[in-house]
Structure 1
Amino acid sequence: MMKVVLCSFLFFTTLALAFFQNKLRGKKLFLSRLQNIARSRNMQDELVDDELSKPFFERIISPFLEWVSQAIARHLPTKNRDKLQQMLQLAGYPGNLHVHEFQALQLGVIILFMLGFWLLAYLRHQGAVGQLFQLLIGAIMGILFMRYYLTVRIRKRQETIEKELPAMLDLLSVSVEAGLGFDAALERVVSKAEGELSDELRRTFKDIQRGKSRRQALKDLAERTGVEDVHSFVGAIIQAEQLGVSIGKVVHTQAEHARQKRRQRVEEKAMKAPVKMLIPLVLFIFPTIFIVMLGPALINLMEFL
């Protein structure tokens, strides 16, 4: 009898322990799930806060431009895309816009021009043909405007690089003549200078550090700038390495050459200034002088008649 009671007691005790253990395990699992949900909600709140803390352009405009640019890229010929890529590179990627993003921005500008010209045609009560013609003009003006913008940016950037080149070459020449190697001198120069040319030289130095040959890195520098003086400097450095000539003397010679060409460009602009002044003289100054000189004579002539 005692054995039966003892076995029953052990059986029910084991059953109760198993029941409570499962219950505790379920409770722990439930609490763990609640913690995971709370943690995920906190992470979502943090992501939302981080997203809302970003500028409006980065949150809304940039993803939209990326989506539009990808749609445009699927229908744009590769030749046009490569040409635009080259122009953006020469312009220094204004606004950190690459090919697809610039294409999306260009599409937006074209649409704005088309709407503006169509609105003018609508306010003038032109017919359907006139409105379509104005839409076409707006599209052409939008394309020309963006091309003109890129051309101006390229010209200004190249002029800035031409102005910075002599001083940069002087610093490089002094560093090389002081005993530094070309790469070490380049690192020293880019660490102390600021500007368009220093940014390009800094990129060249990083390319060399990543394992690209100095010759190829310098050629890439010349292609990114599109400046004749930079091409001349790169060619001279490559030739000096091949012939074993002192790089310090070559850099010093290139600095003098760049300074001389800059002086020649300034003199050329000064010589062109009188010719450019003829247009305002003929249109504005001469008529005023004629009025002052001939005005009294005309008045006397009218009184005499």
Structure 2
Amino acid sequence: MTTAILIIGALVVLGGLAFLVVRVARSHGGGASIEERMAEFGTLERPPTLEELELSQPFSERVLMPLITRLADFAMRFSPAKSMEEMQHKLDLAGNPYDLKKFVGMRILAAILFGGLGIAIMFLGKSMPKIQRFALPLVGAGLGYYLPVLSLGSKIKKRQKEIIKSLPDALDLLTICVEAGLGFDAAMAKVSEKWDNELCVAFRRVIQELQLGKLRREALRDMANRMDVPDVSTFVAAIIQADQLGVSIARVLRIQSDQMRMRRRQRAEELARQAPIKMLPAIAFLIFPAIFIVLLGPAVIQVIQMFQGGMTF
């Protein structure tokens, strides 16, 4: 009985001491910690509103892109479907730098801007003939409408040149991977991982289409159509034929690689033969006049001085 009373008394004393310790700790440090926590909550930034988020975007995203989208929607309503398909094909050939709607909107906006510039020149250039003044807005609008197409054409040529240049090396890498034991799809994936150019971007798209369930021959044909490069079309046709006939793809890749390297060498030799012809205008109009001035200049000066002296005499 005495032991139980002692244990209960000890627990009561320990509980009282613990209560006092906690109370003292809260009285000394608890207020400060609460204030600090409240200060931390006070310094938290509030989430931005929709208006602030919209204003934080660049001017092109806030103003130009909605305007381009509206202009594109209006223009595409009255455009033939065939012309839109041809424009989409050109965008595919260029590597899809823009989507179709954005590109159409850019053409309309450029036509409006250049047409407005022509109107401004028409009102400022009052000394110009009336026909030229009234033709300026039409010429400016037409120029603005076709400038994006010209820019797209240059991108298409640049992409095709890059693909032609990188195709032989890509075929060499594909051949090495296939001969090492990889499948053709895995070899394309490996080459696209280790290399970064337009051809490897096309390889990645083919791999994605294959993963989505598309047939290999259809994915390869679509890749060739998106490039419009004869060498790629030949390579794709050889791979499809080998796949259908059961021929070894490694052997086909080796043959295609040798042929592509030979064609690249032939192109280099052809460009080397064209170099003298391309240099003729520069030689005729820039180098020859300077040579004539250096060689005949002193003689011409002496002849002029001689005639002047004879006339003075």
Normalising by the smaller structure, the TM-score range is: 0.7 to 0.9
Give structure 1 stretches of 5+ with no counterpart: 1-42
Instruction: Measure how far apart 1:45 and its partner are.
Output: 5.0
Q: Which residue of 2 aligns with 1:273?
A: 275
Helix, strand or coil: the match of 2:181? Answer: coil
Instruction: Measure how far apart 1:49 and its partner are.
Output: 4.6
Higher mean C-alpha displacement, 43-52 vs 82-91 = 43-52
Q: Which residue of 1 aligns with 2:35?
A: none
1:297 maps to a residue whose letter is A
Aligned with residue 139 of structure 1, among 141, 144, 151: 141
2:107 maps to a residue whose letter is Q
2:94 maps to a residue whose letter is A
1:226 maps to a residue whose letter is D
Separation of aligned partners in 2, 1:51 and 1:117 = 34
Helix, strand or coil: the match of 1:245? Answer: coil
In 2, are the aligned partners of 1:68 and 1:104 still within 8 Å (CA)?
yes
Instruction: Measure how far apart 1:168 and its partner are.
Output: 1.4
In the alignment, structure 1 residue 69 sits paired with structure 2 residue 75: no
Separation of aligned partners in 2, 1:286 and 1:123 = 44
Q: Which residue of 2 aligns with 1:104?
A: 105
Separation of aligned partners in 2, 1:228 and 1:304 = 67
Show CA shifts across 1:138-168 (max 9, x none): 1232234222211110000011111121221
Separation of aligned partners in 1, 2:69 and 2:271 = 42
Q: Which residue of 2 aligns with 1:38?
A: none
1:223 maps to a residue whose letter is N
Higher mean C-alpha displacement, 260-269 vs 67-76 = 260-269
Helix, strand or coil: the match of 2:267? Answer: helix
Instruction: Measure how far apart 1:172 and its partner are.
Output: 1.2
Q: Which residue of 2 aligns with 1:245?
A: 247
Q: Which residue of 2 aligns with 1:187?
A: 189
Instruction: Measure how far apart 1:221 and its partner are.
Output: 0.5
Q: Which residue of 2 aligns with 1:4?
A: none
Equivalent residues, number: 262
In 1, are the aligned partners of 2:71 and 2:109 still within 8 Å (CA)?
no
RMSD of aligned Cα (Å)? 2.1
In 2, are the aligned partners of 1:72 and 1:100 still within 8 Å (CA)?
no
Separation of aligned partners in 1, 2:147 and 2:85 = 20
1:149 maps to a residue whose letter is S
Separation of aligned partners in 1, 2:156 and 2:248 = 33
In 2, are the aligned partners of 1:222 and 1:230 still within 8 Å (CA)?
yes
Helix, strand or coil: the match of 1:170? Answer: helix
In 1, are the aligned partners of 2:114 and 2:143 still within 8 Å (CA)?
yes
Instruction: Measure how far apart 1:122 and its partner are.
Output: 3.7
Show CA shifts across 1:266-285 (max 9, x none): 22122112111111221222
Separation of aligned partners in 2, 1:206 and 1:92 = 16
Separation of aligned partners in 2, 1:187 and 1:293 = 64
With normalisation by structure 2, the TM-score equals: 0.77
Higher mean C-alpha displacement, 262-271 vs 197-206 = 262-271
Helix, strand or coil: the match of 1:194? Answer: coil
With normalisation by structure 1, the TM-score equals: 0.79
Which structure 2 residues correspond to residues 290-305 of structure 1 after superposition, within 5 A?
Answer: 290-305=292-307
